[in-house]
């Protein structure tokens, strides 16, 4: 059972606000709580808590409303404190009254919507069957609005056509005359020589002529050699208990509200040392067959470059010796 908080209510007679919930009468005008009573939480909940000792003697049932003077009375009272009328089976409590008021407000809103709907239908019917000056004025206003709408449509259409025309004009290719003030060019010829070279690798290429092979290290594998026992500090979250947390408030309908609480688990962090086996790796060589061979290839030898500023670029001349 949560702690009690004193709620507040506003006096509908003199407008005094924030009256303490346990008070039956307005401290400003003396009027008792009436049929329009509605409790609300105070702005500062913490300063309105009721002590545990006093809360033990407070009846937690809702107030009941007198059928004769509409005053509210405590559930402990069998007769109305204001007028002395007895409490009967027809005497409704605070929550039953609030439920009735909510139902009445919903029904009233529905009836208002229906009234406006019927009035609108009746007005439209009279408009079509009457030729009164008011109806003529409505027709003129409708005609004026229609003309204004048509004018806006024409303006929008013209602006759309103008926008499309501008877009088409922007996309049409255009010719421009340009003058070249400077010209430069550069050409390059790479010359290669077909020759025999010695190479090696882990496979024998097509066209290669093998000299010899031998086993060599091609890489290393990491292999577990042994394990070492080590210690490390680890943590663990352990349940330490539960904490009561306020998640809301429940209106008791008697000038007080009760805390709605829930139990939230609390954890503490415990540390301890544990042993574990850590693997130790070594590098083990991996052997493979390596090929040593000769192969004919085109290899880069030199470049012949030419450049200039004339309108007729040309290739550089180079004499290539014929290899027999």
Are the C-beta atoms of 300 and 192 separated by less than 8 Å?
A: yes
**CA distances for 73 relative to 17, 32, 58, 65, angstroms:** 20, 10, 14, 6
Planar angle of CA 158, 163, 168, nearest 5 degrees = 125
pLDDT classification of 134: cutoffs 50, 70, 90: very low
Give the pLDDT of residue 122.
Answer: 36
Mean pLDDT of the region 133-154: 62
Q: How many CB atoms lie within 10 A of CB 25?
A: 15
Cβ-contact 35, 12 below 8 angstroms: no
Comparing 50-64, 131-145, 209-223, 303-317, the range with the smallest average pLDDT is 131-145
Average pLDDT over residues 147-175: 83
In this structure, of 1-5, 140-144, 273-277, the range with the lowest mean pLDDT score is 140-144
Q: Rounded to 5 degrees, what angle do the CA atoms 17, 20, 26 make? A: 60
- Tens of pLDDT along 35-51? 889 999 999 998 999 99
pLDDT of residue 115: 54
Cα–Cα distance for residue pair 278/275, rounded to 1 Å: 10
Nearest to 41 by CA among 192, 206, 194, 259: 259
116: pLDDT strictly greater than 60: no
pLDDT of 323 higher than 70: no
Q: Give 314 or 255, the one with higher predicted confidence.
A: 255
Q: Is the pLDDT of residue 153 over 90?
A: no
Residue pair 267/236 in contact by the 8 Å Cβ criterion: no
């Amino acid at each position: 059972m949560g702690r009690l908080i004193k709620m507040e209510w506003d006096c509908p007679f003199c407008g005094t606000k924030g009256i303490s919930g346990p008070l039956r009468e307005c401290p400003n005008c003396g009027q008792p709580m009436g049929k329009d009573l509605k409790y609300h939480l105070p702005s500062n909940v913490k300063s309105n808590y009721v002590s545990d000792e006093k809360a033990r003697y407070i009846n937690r049932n809702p107030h009941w409303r007198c059928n004769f003077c509409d005053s509210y009375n405590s559930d402990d009272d069998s007769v109305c404190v204001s007028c002395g009328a007895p409490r009967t089976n027809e005497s409704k409590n605070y929550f039953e009254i609030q439920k009735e008021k909510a139902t009445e407000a919903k029904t009233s809103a529905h009836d208002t919507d229906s009234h406006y709907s019927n009035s609108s239908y009746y007005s439209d019917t009279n408009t079509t069957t009457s030729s009164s000056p008011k109806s003529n004025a409505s027709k003129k206003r409708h005609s004026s609005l229609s003309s204004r709408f048509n004018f806006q449509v024409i303006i929008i259409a013209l602006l759309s056509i103008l926008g499309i025309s501008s877009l088409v004009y922007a996309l049409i290719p255009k010719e421009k005359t340009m003058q070249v003030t400077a010209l430069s060019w550069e050409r390059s010829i790479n010359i290669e020589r077909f020759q025999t070279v010695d190479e090696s690798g882990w496979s024998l290429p097509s066209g290669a002529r093998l000299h010899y092979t031998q086993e060599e290290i091609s890489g290393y594998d990491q292999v577990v050699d042994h394990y070492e026992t080590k210690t490390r500090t680890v943590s663990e979250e352990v349940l330490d208990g539960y904490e009561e947390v306020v998640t809301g408030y429940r209106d008791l309908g008697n000038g007080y509200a009760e805390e709605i609480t829930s139990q939230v688990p609390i954890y503490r962090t415990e540390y301890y040392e544990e042993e574990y086996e850590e693997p130790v790796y070594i590098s083990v060589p991996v052997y493979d067959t390596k090929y040593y061979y000769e192969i004919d290839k085109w290899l880069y030898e030199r470049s012949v470059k030419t450049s200039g500023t004339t309108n007729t670029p040309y290739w550089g001349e180079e004499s290539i010796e014929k290899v027999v």
